[in-house]
Structure 1
């Protein structure tokens, strides 16, 4: 009798889930015209995928940059709907779980919405997810008033397909990509999205929400070494501002290499654009009280970076700014392992850049 009750209960759950699945109308962002994929340059060339660089540029990149450029870091999709129930269904390329990354951040999606009063809120899905080959995130019993939604994609996964499901009678439309000139941010894993708890809290996504700026994330985990090929690609972008945040990876370079590569990048950008360029020192090491020498290499690299920036300014390069390490006030509770910021650290990062950009872009 107990087995019969259990079987009946499982059948009812299955029928309920099936009914929910059958009630959705599905929308594919790849079929939207014009494009609705925010957070990248070269949108026309990449519109058939969720990559951040077109294939013609990927071919010239160092292998790690090429591979990470296929991840959806900083990408988001905006849409308008009055649906009560919403489901995101997507697939990603297989990859190992990173030890310093929450699965929800590495491979999950994150949803925000702006209501009719203009207030933006985060929307939790209350663990209504399925992590099988096709991943689903389901959001139920939402307010029925029309809202402008923004779906942030996983920063450390290559998305191969994605659909958005809404109630059959609900209104739905994609919001075209922003035409505002972007703030282009080039950096390390910290820029790409390591290591808050979920995608919406990566510091570049947080910066986007708190400033309204169009942000292009060109973070490449462990691979921000300022190669000429990367700068050649970056200078193609008609940007409002360029941010170069290299030291968390480029500290491994010599002082001469840092100076040579910074000079090349600034020169290449200036040949095409007069937009402000912010070059960033690395943050101060949060655990230096008991690891006083942990940031020795970072200090040397910061010194080399500061020297070349000041030299370029003296040589007459206009609109070139330095982001000092002291301006990113990391605390001990802001890091996960003293290398990558957690949720607190990402908010600190975003607020520091908000303050800097406010001065630079006024």
Structure 2
């Protein structure tokens, strides 16, 4: 009888905590009602305005439809705020979308919270399943001991956020922190860059890289749609960036070798016309299940060779500031992926650390 009794007690404790969280009185703060932008991770921050999107409206008729629709997703976006509250709640709504089979609900539509205390130490904060997945989603964080702290709220990478509020204890201090203005690291890539498929938003490799380096990161990952169209490079070239990362092969392997060569050549020369910022071009990840499946993704391996040859040719022609990352530089283990196409938490850490090493090499940080 002990196990049923223990289970009942555990359920009562969870139910009690949930009821307390529901009864908590909060004062509410809307990022979109601030006088200055507080949304991090947007390259066209001022132009996008009151939207949790990643491309401005003027691109709607220029970029492919799927890219445009995916640009409405909040991948890589975050909001920072300071408060001394012990209890917080995030309340938000998202546009209807089917649940993706290769994605946890928590990563596709959830939020993630980190905090930096007065000693400068940053830690993740779990919400211990104090959530409500209704039409309005709520995540509650209770009995926090950060005292006065700076929080960063990562938004869902595969959902279109239509409204969001942050609640804190009534009477507690609270202020949003203006968005970062320093030159960003621009990441243009596939579903892997957008945020597939770790367990939660803070563990997408671009968000891990942001915490590892402290750089201002802009996520321009578009699931299944990183095909290096000239119009995308035209758009990206508008950005005054610290560095450009181009990670196309997980999608662009579907192109012919000539298309890969022509498109990466156009892209790099387009960026070089307007910017002297370093450009990192990356091969696809190493095949994690190669022992028993040695022929899988042979076309992707061939596509990597076409990409490398195009970059080598540009370097021979004197185009400066191009750096090449080989697939082997992303140290995947067999446990790094969910289905051999998208990295899990382990794989995302490997991705982020590979790019961290490359950025350190470039900037000698």
What is the TM-score of this pair, normalised by structure 2?
0.94
**How far does residue 33 in structure 1 lie from its aligned partner after superposition?**
2.5
**How far does residue 31 in structure 1 lie from its aligned partner after superposition?**
1.2
Inter-CA distance 268–117: structure 2 relative to 1 (3 Å threshold): same
**How far does residue 140 in structure 1 lie from its aligned partner after superposition?**
0.6
CA deviation digits over 1:271-291, x for unaligned, max 9?
100000000011110001111
Please give the alpha-carbon distance, in whole angstroms, between the structure 2 residues aligned to 1:253 and 1:13: 53
Indicate the RMSD between aligned Cα atoms, in angstroms. 1.4
Please give the alpha-carbon distance, in whole angstroms, between the structure 1 residues aligned to 2:268 and 2:360: 21
In the other structure, the counterpart of 2:41 is 39
Residues 1:351 and 2:353 are matched in the alignment: yes
Residues 1:310 and 2:312 are matched in the alignment: yes
In the other structure, the counterpart of 1:84 is 86
CA deviation digits over 1:238-292, x for unaligned, max 9?
0000000000000000110001000111111111000000000111100011110
SS in 2 for 1:45: helix
In the other structure, the counterpart of 1:145 is 147
Residues 1:19 and 2:14 are matched in the alignment: no
CA deviation digits over 1:305-342, x for unaligned, max 9?
00000000000100011111110111110000000000
In the other structure, the counterpart of 2:240 is 238
SS in 1 for 2:91: strand
In the other structure, the counterpart of 1:103 is 105
CA deviation digits over 1:93-152, x for unaligned, max 9?
000000000000000000000000100000000000000000000001111510000000
Inter-CA distance 343–17: structure 2 relative to 1 (3 Å threshold): closer
In the other structure, the counterpart of 2:3 is none
**How far does residue 14 in structure 1 lie from its aligned partner after superposition?**
9.5
Please give the alpha-carbon distance, in whole angstroms, between the structure 2 residues aligned to 1:308 and 1:209: 32
Whether the 8 Å contact between 1:284 and 1:295 is mirrored in structure 2 is: no
Please give the alpha-carbon distance, in whole angstroms, between the structure 2 residues aligned to 1:13 and 1:129: 11
SS in 2 for 1:216: strand
Aligned length: 350
In the other structure, the counterpart of 2:230 is 228
Alignment of structure 1 residues 137-176 onto 2, 5 Å: 137-143=139-145, 145-176=147-178
Match of 1:295 among 294, 297, 301: 297
Please give the alpha-carbon distance, in whole angstroms, between the structure 1 residues aligned to 2:359 and 2:19: 52
Please give the alpha-carbon distance, in whole angstroms, between the structure 2 residues aligned to 1:339 and 1:143: 40
Please give the alpha-carbon distance, in whole angstroms, between the structure 1 residues aligned to 2:219 and 2:17: 41
Please give the alpha-carbon distance, in whole angstroms, between the structure 2 residues aligned to 1:175 and 1:67: 28
SS in 2 for 1:238: coil
Whether the 8 Å contact between 1:288 and 1:295 is mirrored in structure 2 is: no
Please give the alpha-carbon distance, in whole angstroms, between the structure 1 residues aligned to 2:61 and 2:84: 42
Please give the alpha-carbon distance, in whole angstroms, between the structure 2 residues aligned to 1:352 and 1:18: 42
SS in 1 for 2:44: coil
Please give the alpha-carbon distance, in whole angstroms, between the structure 2 residues aligned to 1:180 and 1:275: 14
SS in 2 for 1:350: helix
Whether the 8 Å contact between 2:84 and 2:148 is mirrored in structure 1 is: yes
Whether the 8 Å contact between 1:125 and 1:139 is mirrored in structure 2 is: yes
CA deviation digits over 1:35-64, x for unaligned, max 9?
111111000111210000001013211011
Please give the alpha-carbon distance, in whole angstroms, between the structure 2 residues aligned to 1:118 and 1:27: 25
SS in 2 for 1:73: coil
In the other structure, the counterpart of 1:132 is 134
SS in 2 for 1:297: helix
Please give the alpha-carbon distance, in whole angstroms, between the structure 1 residues aligned to 2:112 and 2:362: 30
Please give the alpha-carbon distance, in whole angstroms, between the structure 1 residues aligned to 2:160 and 2:331: 32
Match of 1:68 among 54, 62, 70: 70
SS in 2 for 1:95: coil
In the other structure, the counterpart of 2:54 is 52
